[in-house]
Amino acid sequence: MEFVVMYSLRNGVDRSRVLETYPRHKEYYEAFRAAGGGLIALGPFQTPDPAAGSMGIFTSREDAERFIAGDPFTTEGLADPRILEWNAVHFG
């Protein structure tokens, strides 16, 4: 079982704030991974969707919750996250 964090931008958030915050977000996720956090993958969707602008995949709910708690996109009020359990089928 893996856990997917879906981020949607909060209403009224200007994209320029997202771009301004991105370097802190990148620094955060790199440090999270380096410290052993169970982050498998993350990134934005290329197709605009109001329900989900980006997502991250985690090995545990605890890591997903810990990531959300310190991510500048959430701590600075830009995105609303939600966690979904994902029963992924892996090949190979």
Q: How far apart are CA 12 and CA 88, in angstroms?
A: 34
What is the pLDDT of the chain when averaged over all its residues? 94
pLDDT at 92: 83
Q: How far apart are CA 17 and CA 50, in angstroms?
A: 17
Condensed to tens digits (0 to 9), the pLDDT of residues 45-55 reads: 988 777 778 99
Is the pTM value of this prediction over 0.85?
yes
Q: List, in order, residues 6 or more apart from 17 with CB less than 8 Å away.
A: 76, 78
Condensed to tens digits (0 to 9), the pLDDT of residues 17-61 reads: 999 999 999 999 999 999 999 999 999 998 877 777 899 999 999
Condensed to tens digits (0 to 9), the pLDDT of residues 58-89 reads: 999 999 999 999 999 999 999 999 999 999 99
If residue 77 lies in a helix (H) or strand (E), which one and from where to where?
Answer: none
